[in-house]
Structure 1
Amino acid sequence: MLNTLIVGASGYTGAELAAYLQQHPQVNLSRLM
């Protein structure tokens, strides 16, 4: 499993990236900033 951190998740692109990565079976979203 890959732990990830998204910087800039408050914007549209960051929010879309977070939604996309949540669907991936091998990605764990650790933090959103």
Structure 2
Amino acid sequence: MGIHPGDLSAFDCEITYDCLHALTMLVTIIEEQ
């Protein structure tokens, strides 16, 4: 589609529940530090 893996990777990630859940856990871990 002419999209580089990094341009919309975060956007595509939010569409996927599993990835969104992983991002949420990652943010939680970062905030705890």
TM-score calculated relative to the size of structure 1? 0.41
Q: Which has the higher contact order (CA 8 A, sep 6+)?
A: 1
TM-score calculated relative to the size of structure 2? 0.41
Higher helix share: 2
Higher strand share: 1
